Structure 1
Amino acid sequence: MAGVLTESILNMLVNDMRPISMVEDEGFKQMVTTFHPGYTLPSRTNFTKLMEGKYEATFGKVKDALKATKNKIALTTDAWTSVATEAYLGITCHFISDDWELNSFCLTTMPLEERHTGTNIAAWIEQAVERFEIPPSKVVAVVHDNGSNVVLTAYILQEKHGWVSVRCAGHTLQLVINRALKHPQISKALGAARCLVEHFKSSELASSKLKTKQKQMGTPEHKLVQDVSTRWNSTYYMVTRLLE
C-alpha cells in the first residue's frame, strides 16, 4: 500500500509539474496523514531519486517507440523565453503509427546559454536526434518559425541531411495579419480600443462601475480582453469583447 501511495504522489508531482519540495510542506504532510495515518512520507531526496528513475524509464520507452516505427519522423523546433527571461529550445518529434494515429514526443526543452545562431541551433537539434538514436535518414522535415536564425538552421539541416524545411503556417499567418493591422485606419482604431481596455484594466473604480452596469442591464459580467502582439486572434477577441 505504501508503494502505491508513493507512486501516486510521484505521478502527481510529474503530471502537475509541482516542485519536489512540496513533499516537505506542512499542509501537504497533514493532508497525507489524514488520508492514511500509517503512511510514512518519503523524504525529498527519495522522491528526487524516484523521479530520476521514472525519467530514465520514460526515456527508454520513447527511444524504443521511435526505434520501432517504420514511418518517417518530422521535427518541430521553437526557441522561446520564460517569464524569468531565460532562453530555451524546445524540440518535438511526430510520426504516424501503423494504425494511422499521430504520435508526438517532446525530445528536449533545453536551456540556451550560448548564442542562438543558426549553426548552434542546428547542432543542438542534431544532438537531440542522436541522443534518441534516431537515424538522420528517418527524419523527413523540420517545422519552424520565420526567425532568420531558425530559417538558417533549417537550411543547414536541409543541405546536410535532406530534411525538408517547413515554415509554421500559424506563424506565417501571424506575420501576414500583423502587416494588415498596421494599415493606418485599422491601427488607429485598435489604438483607441487598447486605450479603453487599459483604462478599465488599470482602474479598479472603472472596472467596478462596469460590473455594476452589467448587472443592471442583465448582461454577462465579462471582463475586457487585452490583446498580445504575438497572437493576432487576441486582437480579434479584444475587439469582439469591446463590441459586446
Structure 2
Amino acid sequence: YNAAFHIPSRRTVTILEETKLWKKVFEETRPRVCLTTDTWTSIQKIHYMFFTAHFIDRNWILHKRIINFFPTSSHKVDKASSNDVTVKEMSKTLRNWGTNIFDGDHIHVRCMTHILNLIVQDWLKEIGKSVKLVRQAVKYIKQSPARNRKFKEYRESELITCKKSLCLDVPTR
C-alpha cells in the first residue's frame, strides 16, 4: 500500500478513456472542427458557459461533444463583445500553431438563431401588452383543472380540431 498513490474514480477513468479514443479519431481523420459557445442556467440558478466541438467523421456522422464548461456570473451578459474577444484570442493561438485558416477572417460566424431571437424579442416588446394578456389568460386557464376542461369544451363547441393544449412560451426560444 502506497499512501501517495491516488486511485482515480470510475468517472475520471471513463473521461480519460473517452479522451484517448477521440484523440485517436482526430489523429486518423483530421476533421474540420467547429467550436461553439453557449450558456445555460441550472435549476439552482447557476450560470454556465459551454464550449462544444462539432465535426463530421469519415462516415458522415455528425458528432457533438462538450469539451469544457465553467460557471459564469450571468448568461445575460453581452455575449457578442465577449465572443469577439474570445475569437481574437483563439485566432492568435491558432496563428501561433500555424493552423489559422483564412488568416482568421472566417473563424467567427454569428449565431443566426440568436440574431433572429433578438429581432423577435424587440417585436414582442412592441406588442407587449397583447402578449402579456395572452400569457395571463393561459396561466389562468392552466391553474385550474376545471378551467382547463371548460377551455377544451369551448374549443370543441367551436369545432376547432387542434387537440394541442395551451402552453406558455419560453422567452429565449
Q: % of aligned pairs identical? A: 27
**Contact kept in structure 2, 1:86 and 1:111, CA below 8 Å:** no
1:192-229: CA deviation from partner (whole Å, max 9, x where unpaired)? 22221121123343223224445667755532110121
Partner amino acid for 1:62? W
**CA offset digits 1:39-60 (Å, max 9, x no partner):** xxxxxxxxx9444433322221
Q: C-alpha deviations, 1:90-145, integer Å up to 9, x for none?
A: 1111223334443332213x3326x67xxxxxxxxxxxxxxxxxxxxxxxxxxxx9
* Contact in 2 for aligned 1:146/1:168 (Cα 8 Å): no
Give the gaps of 5 or more residues in structure 2.
1-7, 95-99
Q: Does 1:226 align with 2:154?
A: no
Specify the alignment match of 1:151 in structure 2: 84
Pairs aligned (count): 152
Query: Which deviates further from its counterpart, 78-87 or 212-221?
Result: 212-221
* Conserved 8 A contact 1:71-1:95: yes
Please say if residues 75 and 93 of structure 1, whose CA atoms lie closer than 8 Å, have aligned partners that are also in contact: yes
Question: Partner letter of residue 156 of structure 1?
Answer: E
Q: Which residue of 1 aligns with 2:35?
A: 75
CA distance in 2, matches of 1:165, 1:102: 20
Q: Helix, strand or coil: the match of 2:108? A: strand
- Corresponding residue for 2:97? none
Distance in 2 between the 1:98 and 1:62 partners?
A: 13
TM-score (norm 2): 0.69
Correspondence 1:146-225 to 2 at 5 A: 146-161=79-94, 162=100, 163=104, 164-183=107-126, 186-214=127-155, 219=161, 221-225=163-167
Structure 1 CA distance for aligned equivalents of residues 117 and 93 of structure 2: 30
* Structure 1 match to 2:5: none
The SS at the match of 1:112 is strand
Amino acid across the alignment from 1:224: L
- Normalised by the size of structure 1, how large is the TM-score? 0.52
Deviation at 1:153, TM superposition (A): 1.9
Any stretches of 5+ residues in structure 1 without a counterpart? 1-47, 117-144, 232-244
Deviation at 1:75, TM superposition (A): 0.6
Q: Secondary structure at the match of 1:166?
A: coil
Structure 2 vs 1, CA of residues 156 and 53 (structure 1 numbering), >3 Å: closer, same or farther? closer
